[in-house]
């Protein structure tokens, strides 16, 4: 009969071997994200809940932060990509991603694709295939300082207001001595966001097939939009940003130097922290045309060469579930049902973000239509800046951008 010491040692060895076997059997699912801080903590909490529902699975959250694209490109290049990852630049990455359409169709009762606004889903599609599930979004709105409006005796913006209405209100806030303006226009706007104004005026940068910019980017409707912003600067209805002074519109708005500020969800937390009473208005319209908004959408995708593709899809479904969507309080909910359950579609602060989705589901951003869009966009950006410097000649500058860009359409 073995002595007690031998028995204990044998038991410990058995436990050690069993533990090692368990560790070897554990599946590790890699999830790459660009987020930090509170948003990262929320994603880690979602990963923990997934692990609880899938014993033997470890979700390795990899926060790439500011070096996200460089690290992701390196991982794909080395043949060792994360299984799942945050994604937005589908034209760059889609050939390395797994199409999800068949999986969505197979599990439609669980994932409920109709619960995701079509405009958000459109941003994840390339050549008719879906390469990601939306995880967060923002549309564009106009924040306005209620205290400044009350002090100036100016009526607050209403739903259905036009750019003419905005200009008339903005002019009433001009205080040269105090360097106060009604609005801000950007000499160097992100062309991605700026296209929303062309959509709202009945045009776009590039044809839907991605082959033509002449008659689109330089159309009379496009020139009218750009010319309007230049005219607002010339008449000092708005301060012009990024012309020798890098102070942002967010800083001016939070400091009470502009009464209205066109932006998105990413500025809301800082506006809240500024401590004054504000309202949120929808983007103005051009006459009776509906306003459209640029869509800032993050999504979650699966690598084509994922080490655990089936498990990756289970995680994407879990990340897209109503419970997980509701946990991501730093994002606007990508599910209609969650937004409604939280009362956000009726809350006056959040309602404009959701309302404009209904008119922003028919247009696709230019970068999704042509592989050379980045180079074409450089010419467009120069035309916008030149117009804001000249405070005029919008059509001539846009014509020049088209001329410089035609060779890039091939």
194-216: average pLDDT: 96
The CATH topology of domain 141-295+364-409 is D-Maltodextrin-Binding Protein; domain 2 (3.40.190)
Give the per-residue pLDDT at 2.
43
**Domain spans in the chain, listed from the N-terminal domain onward:** 4-131+297-345, 141-295+364-409
pLDDT over threshold 50, residue 302: yes
Average pLDDT of span 293-303:
97
Q: What is the mean pLDDT of residues 82-109?
A: 97
**Could you read off the pLDDT of 325-362 as tens digits, one per residue?**
999 999 999 999 999 999 999 999 999 999 999 888 77
Query: Which whole-number Å values give the CA distances from 360 to 150, 209, 272, 355, in the listed order?
Result: 32, 18, 26, 9
4 — pLDDT class (breaks 50, 70, 90): very low
- Under the banding of pLDDT at 50, 70 and 90, the label for residue 3 is low
DSSP code string of 82-94: -SEEEE--HHHHG
pLDDT at residue number 392? 81
**4-131+297-345 shares its CATH topology with 141-295+364-409:** yes
pLDDT in the model for residue 391? 87
For 4-131+297-345, CATH number out of 1.10.240.10, 3.40.190.10, 2.60.40.420, 3.40.50.9100 equals 3.40.190.10
What order do you get walking across the sheet with 278-281 strand by strand? 260-263, 141-145, 278-281
| More reliable by pLDDT, 10 or 409 | 409
Alpha helix stretches (DSSP H) within 244-392: 249-254, 268-274, 309-319, 322-327, 336-341, 351-355, 373-390
Model confidence band, residue 29 (pLDDT cutoffs 50, 70, 90): very high
Question: Is the model's pLDDT at 69 over the cut of 90?
Answer: yes
pLDDT surpasses 80 at 25: no
| Residue 146: pLDDT over 80 | yes
């Amino acid at each position: 009969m073995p002595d007690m010491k031998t028995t204990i040692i044998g038991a410990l060895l058995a436990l050690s071997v069993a533990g090692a076997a368990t560790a070897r059997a554990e599946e590790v699912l890699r999830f790459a994200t660009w987020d930090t801080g509170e948003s990262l903590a929320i994603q880690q909490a979602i990963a923990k809940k997934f692990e609880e529902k899938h014993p033997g699975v470890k979700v390795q959250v990899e926060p790439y932060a500011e070096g996200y694209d460089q690290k992701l490109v390196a991982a794909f290049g080395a043949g060792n990509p994360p299984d799942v990852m945050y994604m937005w630049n589908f034209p760059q990455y889609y050939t390395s991603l797994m199409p999800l359409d068949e999986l969505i169709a197979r599990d439609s009762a669980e994932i409920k694709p109709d619960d995701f606004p079509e405009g958000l889903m459109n941003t994840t599609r390339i050549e008719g295939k879906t390469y990601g599930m939306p995880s967060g979004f923002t549309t564009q709105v106009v924040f306005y300082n209620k205290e400044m409006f009350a002090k100036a005796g100016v009526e607050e913006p209403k739903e259905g207001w036009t750019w003419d209405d905005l200009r008339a209100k903005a002019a009433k806030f001009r205080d040269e001595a105090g360097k106060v303006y009604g609005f801000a226009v950007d000499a160097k706007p992100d062309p991605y966001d700026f296209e929303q104004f062309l959509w709202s005026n009945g045009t776009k940068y590039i044809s839907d097939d991605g082959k033509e910019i002449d008659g689109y980017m330089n159309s009379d409707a496009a020139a009218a939009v750009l010319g309007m912003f230049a005219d607002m600067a010339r008449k000092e209805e708005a301060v012009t940003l990024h012309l020798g002074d890098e102070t942002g519109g967010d800083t001016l708005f939070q400091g009470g130097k502009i009464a209205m500020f066109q932006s998105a969800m990413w500025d809301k937390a800082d506006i809240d922290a500024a401590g004054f009473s504000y309202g949120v208005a929808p983007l103005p319209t051009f006459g009776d045309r509906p306003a459209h908004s640029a869509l800032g959408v993050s999504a979650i995708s699966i690598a084509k060469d994922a080490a655990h593709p089936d498990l990756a899809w289970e995680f994407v479904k879990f990340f897209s579930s109503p419970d997980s969507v509701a946990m991501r309080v730093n994002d606007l909910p990508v599910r209609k049902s969650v937004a409604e359950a939280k009362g956000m579609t009726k809350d006056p602060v959040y309602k404009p973000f959701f309302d404009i989705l209904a008119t922003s589901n028919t247009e696709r951003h230019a970068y999704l239509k042509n592989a050379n869009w980045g180079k074409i966009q450089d010419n467009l950006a120069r035309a916008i800046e030149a117009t804001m410097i000249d405070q005029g000649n919008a059509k001539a500058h846009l014509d020049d951008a088209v001329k410089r860009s035609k060779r890039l359409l091939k």
